[in-house]
Structure 1
């Protein structure tokens, strides 16, 4: 049986095109939580938060948050909170083994339920989520900045609710919006508490800015951070104009995820070099095999959402299947 190290060695290796910011300067914030800073206008408005580093190797969000902090951004109304998530994993990043610093003990973006946060379990990620939770509980609008294992177009993960899709449309970019119910092995922060409650005015978006270490992902993270701050009304355009990209925005495409493809072990292999957002024209096309099992597209024009084998293992989702939905 192949090991995870052998599988990763056979996958595309991406150059590190960006500089990793030194975030130690931001350790002592003003919220009582390390690496979390809040700025209050003392004028009525929402409390909005931009969080980077839910995963320790997703540096584009850290670059955007570091830039906003260095810029000395303050809100015109409401409150802005800027923070870094899994700083312990980020601190041990090694470009020779870039995938290993995603987390220390477990995926921090799968622990966001009251049951887990209030429970007796312990892990590095649970401890950090519990530290962040009192701040997050006060947030009206959340932007969770991520990046992807493979070189694929950036995308918004809106969740399944109309309010999430409406929020994604308000930002207008990235072009691709993924409408899904989350992961079978845990709850994401963007679905936590009021963010995932259709009756709550709270709202959150998760944005995958592109491949982890690509210069283009750095630009996407800064652009979407600016769009988020403008959409929530806490800044004026002049405050974030330098972060916005000038390219015309293509019409957004909303893709409803219908099912995940979950590995049973370590033997699953894709039928081609899929990186993400490929549209498979014909139903029944075999996209992967795992021993005697063939995995085929269930319908025409099936979109492959974030395919990757870099963290394959029993019960791990290796790709999600989706199709266009009208908006």
Structure 2
């Protein structure tokens, strides 16, 4: 028998960051079927990978959660292996307010900066750390992980992954977004995709992080679903997903992260994420009295943040992968 799912609520406000999509009602999804709130597991009974798709690591990034909610309503099941769907930071999401949508990213701290053994096993405490510890066995059981996110500032959609051949191959096979970025450890703290099970040398496990577009735009939900369905198709876990066109795929590798060292960090123009600066030495930002210039030709700006706190990453720089 199909489970009844309540309709979402929708309120558009005029602000710097208008919410143009319905806010999903996750009351039913929050129950889960594993004993862990917000975690759903479906076992095909046939050999295959254990795929985990996470959403809502940040409470105001709910396009991925809307996709997973729709899949639950449609009773999507894997044709092989095990599929686990995760609605992560339900506490932060419960505080989402369309009139001030940036405030519910987290309650105590960023849940996507705590994924190391030292932090998870350490003495610190926060709401997000408690939730990460509860989700830890779910994440560490994954053969393949897809973490669905969206972005506050204008940028082309990106698929981020580690630098292993297996992770790169899976990211390209997913087919959406067309831009794949090979990234190292995030300077602000370890993300879920940086967690040791996915980053240790020789591991068979892989993790991808999809930045599907702007937080509250209709096209972002569509891209998140394309990422998630492409992920399962690439793993051979669903039928019917269209074969992606890989002719436009581009793979980039992060070469440098730029952190603000002052409170006066400012870009020279309102760069959109994914823009490619043709010439090395081009001035792209000023950090107090310091000039920030591109270190190499054809330098892509990965998720530039025009408002950044001192000590935090303002932009990552990438070059096209050498063939």
Q: Distance in 1 between matches of 2:321 and 2:31?
A: 45
1:302 to 275, 279, 299: 299
Aligned positions of 1:85-164 closer than 5 A: 85-164=88-167
Q: Distance in 1 between matches of 2:102 and 2:261?
A: 21
Q: Distance in 2 between matches of 1:305 and 1:96?
A: 28
CA root-mean-square deviation? 1.6
Q: Distance in 1 between matches of 2:55 and 2:207?
A: 14
Deviation string, structure 1 residues 200-256 (Cα, Å, up to 9, x no partner)? 11111111000111111100011111111111122222xxx4xx6x98554211111
Q: 1:98 to 1:266 in 2, by over 3 A?
A: farther
Superposed structure 1 runs of 4+ greater than 6 Å apart: none
Q: How far off is 1:314 after superposition?
A: 2.0
Deviation string, structure 1 residues 45-84 (Cα, Å, up to 9, x no partner)? 1111110011111121111111111111111111111111
The structure showing larger relative contact order (alpha-carbon pairs under 8 Å, at least 6 residues apart) is 1
1:258 to 241, 255, 277: 255
Matched with 1:26 is: 29
Matched with 2:312 is: 316
Contact 1:275 1:308 in 2 (8 A): no
Matched with 2:220 is: 217
Q: Distance in 1 between matches of 2:20 and 2:315?
A: 26
Matched with 1:280 is: 277
Higher helix share: 1
Unpaired runs of 5+ residues, structure 1, are 1-11
Asked if residue 16 in structure 1 is aligned to residue 19 in structure 2, the reply is yes
Matched with 1:3 is: none
Contact 1:171 1:227 in 2 (8 A): yes
Deviation string, structure 1 residues 6-43 (Cα, Å, up to 9, x no partner)? xxxxxx92322211111111122121210001011111
What secondary structure, in the 3-state scheme, does the structure 1 residue paired with 2:18 have? coil
Q: How far off is 1:169 after superposition?
A: 1.4
Unpaired runs of 5+ residues, structure 2, are 1-14
Aligned positions of 1:160-239 closer than 5 A: 160-237=163-240
